[in-house]
Structure 1
Amino acid sequence: MSFREETEDANLRKPFLHTGSWYRMGSRQSSMMGSSQVIRDSSVSVLACVLIVALGPIQFGFTSGYSSPTQEAITEDLGLSVSEFSWFGSLSNVGAMVGAIASGQIAEYIGRKGSLMIASIPNIIGWLIISFAKDSSFLYLGRLLEGFGVGIFSYTVPVYIAEIAPQNLRGALGSVNQLSVTIGIMLAYLLGLFVQWRILAVLGILPCIILIPGLFFIPESPRWLAKMGMTEEFESSLQVLRGFETDISVEVNEIKIGIGLLIFQQLSGVNAVIFYSSTIFESAGITSGNVATLGIGAIQVIATAVATWLVDKAGRRLLLIISTAGMTVSLLIVAAAFYAKDFVSEDSGIYSILGIFSVVGVVAMIIFFSLGMGPVPWVIMSEILPINIKGLGGSVATLSNWICAWLVTMTANLLLTWSSGGTFTIYMVVSAFAVAFVTLLVPETKGKALEEIQRSFR
């Protein structure tokens, strides 16, 4: 280990955050965020911080859920084709790729709080552009801006939570990130039943409108402050670029696990279900697709809340194995039901029963995803990356996630038009590979300090 790494590790072991004790966050913060802060009750303060930054993933979820209840109305009002709406649905992921690339470096240079502030601005602008859209070009621009902000949120929020959380609560508090995403999705589904799509877009700015002032009342990440206080001379772009090559080769185990989990999270097809759930339910014979979609959103919130409670008890690895295995079986049921429907009459009772099986399979898939593959990859990614490569390694992992998310959302409608059974078969095969990946490569990180996890990889 180099002198720099030894010094950083020693500094990170200092008691920046102790439950029930006084602590001072440090003398340096980004100029945007103000001076250092003192907080008496650590556990209450950490929870308050988590609840404030959770508005970011709520925004993330609202963006993901927006396209499902609005597809029919937007298509009719603006005269979009299926392909054009697919572009609209998926462009948030393209924007998120750019945000993911930038997120690590933004979070390193101006801090976690400054990064969240920057992420909020394009989200607000993007929603306003969509609300006043006259044609597809406005929709595309707004969706790209939203995605850029969401890409930053998706990296920065779990990292911030992991860096401020006490060791015994890190898994549960880290899972709040995904729980908040599901709450955002459910809110989009719910409000989409009652308000017109332009009004729904205006409502989309509310999480960021609340988040921005909230950031002034929470402390900066102590680990980021520790790093900035010790390595000021290493903050140039040249050193970052030189560090990128070194970090990728030396810390390959941490990064490949983080990337692998986040890729499997998306290629399992969950975004296809979330973005186009109303279409999927209508294909299964459910007449009120939007109402069924709302049910999916509620189930996802409940299942993710259960995972938040389980992650520090059952452990990360066990939840991932149960989750990926359950998703594989669920997707097999959905694929088989859609295949079988091609061979029976639409007027027969068997056709209706197969429709029920396909819906049950989709619901089960969402439940199993929410129990493990939804929240846990973000928790593990925030745990295994050491402070000296967290910005770059986290950006690589988050970018990989958003590339796969875009691939799934862009192709989902087209694949469903080709073959519903074939689409879910593809997702099922990916989930089966995910079971093997988790079983063979993913370590258990429950109950370990961040520095202990990161040293074990070295």
Structure 2
Amino acid sequence: MEETSKLQAEAKPMIYPSNGKAKEALINEKQPEVRPVRGSALRQVLVAFVANIGTINTGMVFGFSAVAIPQMQMPNSTLPIDEDQASWIASLSSISTPIGCLLSGWMMDALGRRVALLLVEVPLLVGWLLIATAHNLPLLYAGRLFVGFGSGLVGAPARVYTAEATQPHLRGMLSALASLGVSFGVLLMYALGAALPSWRHGAGVSAAVPLVALVLAAVAAPETPSWLIAHGRPKEARCSLARLRGDVCDIDGELDQLTRGTSISAGDGKSRSDMAASKRQTEKPEPLIKTLFKKSSLWPLGILVAYFVIYQFSGVNAVTFYAVEVIRAAGIGGGDSDYLTAVAMGVVRLAATAAACILMRRMGRRPLTLISSIGCGVTMLGLAGSLAYLEPGDFSILSWLPIVCIFGFTITSTLGYLVVPWVMIGEVYPARVRGTLGGLTTCAAHLSVFAVVKTFPYLQHLLTRPGAFCFYGCVSLLGSIFFATLLPETKGRTLQEIEDYFTGVTPTLGPPKENKKKIKSKELNGSVPV
């Protein structure tokens, strides 16, 4: 008894400390360590830039025909072509692109996002070297097929990698870097066409881009945590998160979220999202083919395929691939100034893409899409009307209308059409089939590119040039109805929230009302206890 009383007496100061500092230490000991939810923005930005360098090639592939075809049609051309051959040079890259898109989906899911980023650069390098050294049409055609195949391979891995490697508050802006890369590639090719004596030199310079992308991806891009978790490699996933976020943020919390498949905005109670997450933990993974045919896969696939068809038949790539010819048809410039005007269009497109990257975070996907659909419709109809009614050599105030319409079309198409659907590829699909469905979507997108680019010369003969532009404008305006009705807003939502929405677990993409204050508080504080 005496010994027990002695022990209690000795323990008493520890339980009820009279010393103020000791009490404060005891309180602090009970407080959980607080770490920020958001990781290093710099790390995420840098790795996103590395992942998207390859997309510059896609823009260069798009812009090549606009530069090369007018040079090949000149009387002193070393490789003369007719109109039909010109249409094949412009469109052939889009034939092989869908094959690359389909293969890229398998590569991402089977080999990993990082390995896919490395392998996609090889056909691009081979293709540009073939074009640069081509002295006959078959070799040139082969080079175009190779670079088109590489463009198909690079699109989905760059976007999916960026979406999985970045956090929701940065994902929209950084996923738009792929579109920024494409726009920069178009500008770069237009500039090379204006500065260099031959399209061969431009192709040779272009070969350096995939080489740089290959080296930087090998050095600086870790595998994404989502893919590693999905393939049962949690330790490697934690190392990847540490590289992508820095080790001062709540890495374990994000890793736990990825492992359990729960949304960060779920409340303390058992919501439908919580129950769905618990169900996902206990169930065995479904066969891939079954997942592909579920509502959560087919619904977003249908929306995005329709999005790409509408935006392509709004005339975006008809203008991009035949930029110099469209400029000449509009009576803008003449001689070498045609190429300088094309460069100016490239600058405007690049600036608009950069603006779209910023607006993506502030405005969301739906408003930017409607700006594009309505803006492209109005400017295309304006271009059609000006070409139909203005006489050649007209120097009235209305003679400025074609150039205003062309540059207005470039700006409005870039703000939404050239950015939003590509960003959503990395957002709307279930994690298990995100690579496969991303490849299928980019496949459908580039089949639409081929259809538009190949048929543009024939559409001009059938409907006249103003009629062709009128057709594109009407498609874009009608597409506004589809976008306003069916396109969801994914801004600020986690990938799991988006998947739960398309599965039907949650009725909307907005956070639950009872959790809005908690979410806002977390975002303001930027930290969670661990």
How far apart in 2 are the matches of 1:158 and 1:170? 10
Inter-partner Cα distance in structure 2 for 1:265 and 1:388: 28
CA distance in structure 1 between the partners assigned to 2:393 and 2:414 by the alignment: 35
- Distance in 2 (alpha carbons) for counterparts of 1:241 and 1:82: 51
Q: Is 1:372 aligned to residue 370 of structure 2? A: no
Q: Which letter does structure 1 place at the counterpart of 2:372?
A: S
In the other structure, the counterpart of 1:280 is 326
Q: Does 1:362 align with 2:415?
A: no
Matching residue of 2:307? 261
What amino acid is aligned across from residue 293 of structure 1 in structure 2?
A
Matches of residues 18-417 of structure 1 in structure 2 within 5 Å?
19-20=38-39, 42-75=40-73, 76-195=77-196, 196-216=198-218, 217-229=220-232, 243-244=288-289, 246-251=291-296, 252-286=298-332, 287=334, 288-341=337-390, 344=391, 346-350=392-396, 354-417=398-461
CA distance in 2, matches of 1:111, 1:269: 35
Aligned to 2:250: none
Unaligned runs of 5+ in 1: 1-16, 21-41, 232-239
- Offset of 1:392 from its aligned partner? 2.4
Amino acid at match of 1:260: A
Does the CA-based 8 Å contact 1:59-1:181 persist in structure 2? Answer: yes
Q: For residues 398-437 of structure 1, give each alpha carbon's deviation from its aligned partner in whole angstroms, at most 9, with x where no partner exists.
A: 1110000001111223333551101111111221122111
Matched position secondary structure for 1:311: helix
Q: Cα offset for 1:53? A: 1.6
What's the CA shift for 1:262? 2.1
Shift of 1:453: 0.9
Compared CA separation, residues 289 and 175, structure 1 to 2 (3 A)? same
Residue aligning to 1:5: none
User: For the structure 1 residues 295 and 392, does the alpha-carbon distance in structure 2 shift closer, same or farther, using more than 3 Å as the test?
Assistant: same
Q: Deviations over 1:373-414 (max 9, x none)?
A: 111111122111011121222122111100000011112233
Q: Deviations over 1:19-75 (max 9, x none)?
A: 34xxxxxxxxxxxxxxxxxxxxx3222111111122111111111111112212233
Structure of larger gyration radius:
2
Instruction: Letter of the 2:230 partner, please give it.
Output: K
Query: Contact (CA 8 Å) 1:276, 1:413: kept in 2 or not?
Result: no
8 Å Cα contact 2:156-2:425 kept in structure 1: no
Q: In the TM superposition, what whole-angstrom CA distance separates every residue of 1:118-145 from its partner, at most 9, and x where no partner exists? A: 2100101001111111111111100000
Match of 1:425 in 2: 470
Partner Cα distance (1:241, 1:331) in 2: 47
Asked if residue 437 in structure 1 is aligned to residue 479 in structure 2, the reply is no
Deviation of 1:249 after TM superposition, in Å, equals: 4.1
Question: How far apart in 2 are the matches of 1:191 and 1:162?
Answer: 32
Q: Hey, what's the Cα distance between the residues in 1 that align with 2:119 and 2:106? A: 12
* Aligned-pair identity (%): 30
Question: Deviation string for 1:91-111 (max 9, x for gaps)?
Answer: 111111110111111111111
Rounded Cα–Cα distance in structure 2 between residues aligned with 1:78 and 1:177: 33
Match of 1:77, SS state, is: coil
Structure 2 unaligned blocks of 5 or more: 1-35, 235-284, 504-530
Q: Distance in 2 between the 1:241 and 1:339 partners? A: 57
Q: CA deviation at 1:260?
A: 1.7
Secondary structure of the residue aligned to 1:187 is helix
Matched letter for residue 113 of structure 1: R
Give, in whole Å, the separation in 1 of the partners of 2:37 and 2:191. Answer: 40
> Structure 2: how far apart are the matches of 1:119 and 1:84?
28
Amino acid at match of 1:322: I
Aligned to 1:23: none
Conservation of the 8 A alpha-carbon contact between 2:109 and 2:433: no
Counterparts in 2 of 1:242 and 1:19: CA distance versus 1, 3 Å? closer
Separation in 2, partners of 1:94, 1:245 = 29
Structure 1 runs (4+) greater than 6 angstroms displaced: none
Cα distance per residue 1:353-381 (max 9 Å; x no partner) = 55531221111111001111111111122
Cα distance change of structure 1 residues 166 and 186 upon mapping to structure 2, 3 Å threshold: same
Higher mean displacement: 49-58 or 353-362? 353-362
Secondary structure of the equivalent of 2:490?
Answer: coil
Q: Tell me by how many angstroms 1:283 deviates.
A: 0.8
CA-to-aligned-CA distance 1:315-358 (integer Å, 9 cap, x gap): 111111112111111111011111213xx4x34435xx555312
The answer to whether the 8 A contact 2:109-2:436 is kept is no
In structure 2, the residue matched to 1:35 is: none
Distance 1:244 1:259, change over 3 A: farther
Contact 2:315 2:452 in 1 (8 A): yes
**Map of 1:38 onto structure 2:** none
Answer yes or no: is the 8 Å Cα contact 2:98–2:447 preserved in 1. yes
Corresponding position of 1:28: none
Return the alpha-carbon distance in structure 2 between the equivalents of residues 148 and 139 of structure 1: 14
The residue type paired with residue 465 of structure 2 is S
* Alpha-carbon distance between aligned partners in 2 of 1:455 and 1:396, rounded to the nearest angstrom: 21
Looking at structure 1, the residues matched to 286 and 171 of structure 2 have their Cα atoms a distance apart, in angstroms, of 31
Secondary structure at the counterpart of residue 384 of structure 2: helix
CA distance in 1, matches of 2:399, 2:180: 29
TM-score (normalizing by structure 2): 0.74
User: Against the structure 1 CA distance between its residues 127 and 321, is the aligned structure 2 distance closer, same or farther, given a 3 Å change threshold?
Assistant: same
Pairs aligned (count): 409
**Using the alignment, how far apart are the partners of 2:90 and 2:286 within structure 1?**
34
Contact 2:64–2:189 under 8 Å retained in 1: yes
1:264 CA displacement: 2.0
Please report the TM-score for the alignment, with normalisation by the length of structure 1: 0.85
Once residues 425 and 241 of structure 1 are traced to their aligned partners in structure 2, the CA distance between those partners, rounded to angstroms, is 47
CA distance in 1, matches of 2:90, 2:290: 34
